Amino acid sequence: MDKKYQVFVSSTFSDLEDERAAVLEGILQMGHIPAGMELFHANNSSAWEYITKVIEASDYYVLVLGGRYGSLDEHGMGFTEKEYEYARSLNIPVIALLHEEPTSLPRDRTDQAESWVKLQNFREKVESRHIRVVWNSPTKLKAELILSLSQQIQQKPGRGWVRDVSVNEMTATKLSEDSPVESPKPKAEQSLKEPSADWLLPEYENAVIYGHIHDNAEYISKITDSYLATLQPEDDFARAEWLGLQEYWKYIFDRGASTTTLKRCLQEAPSSHRINFWIGKAYYAYEEFRIAAKHFEAAETLATGVVEKIHYLQQASDAYLRFGDEKAARIALDKARMLVTDDEDDVIAMLNAVRLSSTQQNEDHNFIAATEKLLELNPSNHGLRFELAHKYSDMGKTELAVMHYSRIPSPERSSATWNNLGVALGKLNLPYLAVAALLKAKQLGETLANSNLALRLANAGFIDEATQLCASARETKDFSENIPSTERRLREIPQEEEKEKSIVVDKAKNLSEFYKEFGLAAALPSPALQSGAWKSPQCELSLSVEGYKFVANGEYVTAINKLGIGLFGDTTASSRTDVMIIEGTIKGRTAVGTIKRNPKGSSVANTLLGSVNETSLFILSADGKSIEVLENVESTVFRKFSLHALLAPPTTQ
């Protein structure tokens, strides 16, 4: 299923135009749908109501903070912060991308004193609630966005959009477990900005994106005509790239994209690496992986930036792998490696390429190695550290998981980080620290922590308290899907324990009945035990009596494994001969003694391969010809069986 996610991008606008363009391009390159409010008149109350609808329909929320707080609403709150708080109220996953050093930005990109204080307060609030990811350039921002969004999609998959084919028409249908609620479409003149003479290319591109989001073909056509009117007659390259981008967006938004149209654009601008990339993405979506790979390679040849070249070659390698050509995939990635310089951005791009390739080929160790190096280059990327810790946990390397979760500073740990840290600490048998971390996750609203705490309580016998924890989680919107399964488990535990109790009691009854018989037999006179041949379940025994003591011994064959451990009932394994020696002291019609089982020829009474020398009880029959045995009565695993005297052979005259 080709699922796409809607990603709401929130930031100030005029000071972050290049940065927003980088974020939007990154989202589109991933094949998802960007959404935001910079093209809306946010000071209009009806427009704000519509913006809330767009946020509600989004799967993820991306916050980009630079050096400005932005315009204010009537209550003095910035619209960016207002969007953020609304997204949080809906429990939409938040990706916070914060400028590394906002004080280093040019004066025209920072705020005056009062707004600067509001920005700092807003930033501190965001850092206290979410894993912080920092950037210092549009290129770095785009890379961090792609990485962080990939992590969120993996950890918290949204409902998304999928293709719904009906009557020769491709439309986007929102996946929902409930009945879908259709948001009203706004009138373009009320919600979308008209093109302006001072617009640059990013404004035109963003406008078309929003036209697609609202399925407003008239608005898209108006924006296209307006942009093309800004071009000179000789600007064939720019015109071809624009038309190619429009066709690519049709693919992104399932509007019936045509690879033929994209190829026509490429003929008009054969040196465009972007058009080659768009054609490759279209063929990739249609699972024509070999053709897609060729276009990605062509894009790399035409591109000039090393980071772009590495990205295109990684895409080619991925497509070749899906096509089944591992050799071509390896060649593409090796070519990317040859491009890497000492520039940190090049190294980061290549490490990300290795990570993506390793993920597709299930090469866990290469994945974690590349991730470890990325963290060395950017230790404050807590989202990446979370992903690495989670991977270590999946691989059973709990100590490494705890180490990396713990390296995320406490104020910046998300509820998911606290929860996963608690689970990992529990696996290391550190219950105090585990519960403390889970309680912190619960406090931050992670209902999965309620589930984990409930199971810990249940294992300690606190079923009612565990049930209450699950009930409190259900009061939270979008509670963890683990809650229902945990509730089922809480209902099962009492039933399982009652069943186990019945088994234990039945076993105890058998032992109790034997003791009753043993007690009666101890009060009766001793019989005369018959010496000679006796039969046990395993072998024939020779029994002799001397005074109040008897001894019986015999040999039997035991199947063994390669370690020499007995495998009862397995006739295909190797075998050895064991010796059984029974000794007892008679008191009334009872006897107390031992049963030894050791390999033949062993010089040690109790060997590793033999049985433990524990007390056994015997009840003798009145005629002295049978014995009821309770072997190893002091053990939790005792055995009950009978011995019978064999008839003496007839005497010859």
Phi and psi torsions of 535, nearest 5°: -115, 125
Return the closest-CA partner of residue 408 out of 436, 429, 387: 387
**1-175 and 526-645 share one fold:** no
What's the rounded Cα separation, in Å, for the pair 310 and 317? Answer: 10
State the CB neighbour count (10 A cutoff) for residue 91: 14
Confidence of residue 572 (pLDDT cuts 50, 70, 90): low
Distance (Å, whole) CA 211 – CA 220: 5
Task: Note the pLDDT tens digit of each residue in 361-376.
Answer: 888 999 999 999 988 9
Q: What is the three-state SS of 216-255?
A: CHHHHHHHHHHHHCCCCCCCHHHHHHHHHHHHHHHHHCCC
User: Could you please report the per-residue DSSP string of 125-138?
Assistant: HHHHHS-EEEESSH
| The two three-digit tokens of residue 79, written as one number | 């619209």
% of the chain exceeding 90 in pLDDT? 32
Please give the Cα distance from 292 to 283 (Å, whole number). Answer: 5
Q: Is 146 helix (H, G, I), strand (E, B) or coil?
A: helix
Instruction: Read off the pLDDT of each residue in 87-94 and give the average, rounded to a whole number.
Output: 86
pLDDT, residue 192, reads: 65
Under a CB-based contact definition with an 8 Å cutoff, are residues 142 and 388 in contact?
no
Which of 149, 170, 155, 165 has the alpha carbon at shortest distance from 252?
170
- pTM beyond 0.85, yes or no: no
67 pLDDT more than 50: yes
Q: How far is CA 434 from the centre of its chain?
A: 19
Looking at per-residue confidence, does 190 or 327 come out higher?
327
Please state which of the ranges 64-68, 185-189, 253-257, 286-290 shows the lowest mean pLDDT: 185-189
Residue 190 · residue 423 · CB < 8 Å: no
Beta-strand relationship, 60-65 and 6-10: parallel
Pairing of strands 549-560, 540-546: antiparallel
Q: Which residues pair with 644 in a beta bridge?
A: 535, 626
Tens digit of each residue's pLDDT (9 = 90 or more) over 122-171: 888 888 887 778 888 888 888 888 878 887 887 777 777 654 433 233 33
For the chain, the domains span: 1-175, 446-523, 526-645
If one looks up domain 526-645 in CATH, what number appears?
2.40.128
C-alpha closest to that of 30 among 352, 392, 394, 381: 352
On the question of pLDDT at 561 being above 70, the answer is no
Classify domain 1-175 by CATH number: 3.40.50.10140
